[in-house]
Amino acid sequence: MSPRHEIIAADILPMAEYAAQRGARRRRMAALKRNRRVAVGPDATFYFECYETMWHQIHEMLYIEKGDVAAQLPDELVAYNPLVPKGDELVATVMFEIDDPARRAIVLGRLGGVEETAIIRFDNETVHGVPEEDLDRTTAAGKASAVQFIHFPFTPPQIAKFQTPGTQITLGFEHDHYAHLAVMPEAVREALAGDFG
């Protein structure tokens, strides 16, 4: 079955129905996300999004905020639909997770433009990340945001190579102050291969 590329209002459950299913759905989502996550270097983690992760995120926002769903939903769809892969791309939320506030300020202060240097490499191919354009994720002073949203656009031949079982894939950054790469586990490659189509 081909992946879905957009969440629409008709996909959203009534909040009472979602509340009754929430525990089971959160457990399923945790299991799904295990094979959609790659740690890169000491501080960054790539969380690859899909229809299901964004569907869950929208429901969680509506559930937690307990507002007027009809009024809130259009804004949530505008916010989260861009992070659903459109069939020829992978989309990652990248988080720099640094608990110590002083160290976090120092590290992020040196990482301006890091969102422009994300790459995925495999089989003599390099796919360069394209930051989500909703807002600037680096301040004028050169401080990077702790959360980045990055699209990786693929050509059809690159998709075919990525989808080949056993293809060794590395991902990470080519930033002067965060030149870290990690090997993508095969289970993650297999899960993400299903995002194309």
Sheet of strand 37-40: strand arrangement:
37-40, 44-48, 89-96, 147-153, 130-131
**Residue 170 has what pLDDT?**
98
Whether the Cβ atoms of residue 195 and residue 52 lie closer than 8 Å to each other: no
Q: State mean pLDDT over 20-32.
A: 96
Strands of 53-124, DSSP E: 89-96, 118-122
Distance CA 108, CA 105 (A): 5
- 32 secondary structure, DSSP code: H
- Every domain of the chain and the residues it spans: 1-34+51-84, 35-49+87-197
Q: State mean pLDDT over 10-15.
A: 95
**pLDDT tens, position by position, 99-147:** 999 999 999 999 999 999 999 999 999 999 999 986 667 777 788 999 9
**Residue 135 has what pLDDT?**
64
Which CATH number is 35-49+87-197 given? 2.60.40
